[in-house]
Amino acid sequence: MKTQIEIFSRRSTAVFIRTISVTSITFILSISAFSQEFAGNGMSNEQSKENIAKGRGVYNTSCSYCHGLSGKGDGPAADFLIPAPRDFTSGEYKYRRTPSGELPTDWDLFDRITKGVHGTSMINWADLPEEKRWQLVYYIKTFSDKFKDEPDRSVINVGVPPEPTIESLSRGREFYIDAECWKCHGLSGRGDGPSADELKNNKGEISIPRDLTIARNYGRGSSQRAIYLTLLSGLDGTPMPSYQDAFEDMDEELWDLVNYIYSLSN
């Protein structure tokens, strides 16, 4: 089997030049694209004691059935949910724009509440007034001491997806094999890899790899940018690692992989 180094060394000069040429455009467009998909229009209210108290009321009414009154993910409806509801006391979140190991931003929490997690029991709470969703964000953060000092969080910059050409898909397929995505997600992406049945999350609970051929199963969404973000940030607390180090300075190759995964469901 070819190593990643061997594969990467085969990058053509043409590819390199093309990378440089699109970088500037990518940089500019990414700002607007990012703002459309992941960025919010600002917080509607402040993180105050009053809002935290209100958030508690909203949480107890809407969230505690699954996440539990104490935020440990042990609500009375949690028993049969796969994946299990988030344990907010751990301060560990799957869906972030921040690098693996870092806390999510407030917007990340708000965004997840608003959009839900596809393919799971986490509903999108868009019907909840925006003000209440922000209050929820502030209250949820109180479950973990990690948020206490509001440490700085860096946000992963997602560019504009390149065209999913045949060549890009072909390269992406090779990365899919070499990066061993198939071990969990299977060669065909159906979530039936040889390791699929053995996966557990940090709490020792069943962790099921996504069937990548079904767009609605993608927890964060199945757009190319969402896939890119998942690959870079990883899903903390689950067996899905971050590929930030593996693809450092290899943005184009990462997009190839993104395009390939994207093609599985499109």
Residue numbers at the binding site for other proteins (CB under 8 A): 58, 60-62, 64-66, 69, 75-77, 79-82, 116, 118-125, 127-128, 132, 197, 200, 204-206, 216
State in angstroms the smallest separation of the CB of 201 from other proteins.
Answer: 11
State in angstroms the smallest separation of the CB of 122 from other proteins.
Answer: 8
State in angstroms the smallest separation of the CB of 242 from other proteins.
Answer: 25
d(CA 216, CA 222): 7
d(CA 142, CA 88): 9
Is the CB of 97 or the CB of 132 nearer to other proteins?
132
State in angstroms the smallest separation of the CB of 206 from other proteins.
Answer: 6
Closest CA to 120 of 212, 208, 225: 208
State in angstroms the smallest separation of the CB of 164 from other proteins.
Answer: 26
Q: Which amino acid is at 136?
A: L
In the structure encoding, which two tokens stand for residue 215, read together?
Answer: 């767009």
Is the CB of 151 or the CB of 204 nearer to other proteins?
204
Is the CB of 17 or the CB of 77 nearer to other proteins?
77
Q: Is the Cβ–Cβ distance between 186 and 176 less than 8 Å?
A: no
Closest CA to 228 of 250, 256, 258: 258
The DSSP symbol for 98 reads: S
Q: Which long-range contacts (CB under 8 A, 24 or more apart) does 100-104 make?
A: 100/233, 100/234, 100/236, 100/241, 100/242, 100/244, 101/236, 102/151, 102/153, 102/154, 103/146, 103/147, 103/151, 103/153, 104/153
206 by DSSP, 3-state: which? strand
State in angstroms the smallest separation of the CB of 78 from other proteins.
Answer: 9
State in angstroms the smallest separation of the CB of 250 from other proteins.
Answer: 34
> Phi and psi dihedrals of 253, rounded to 5?
-65, -35
d(CA 84, CA 204): 11
Is the CB of 11 or the CB of 190 nearer to other proteins?
190
Is the CB of 7 or the CB of 81 nearer to other proteins?
81
Is the CB of 177 or the CB of 199 nearer to other proteins?
199
Is the CB of 56 or the CB of 185 nearer to other proteins?
56
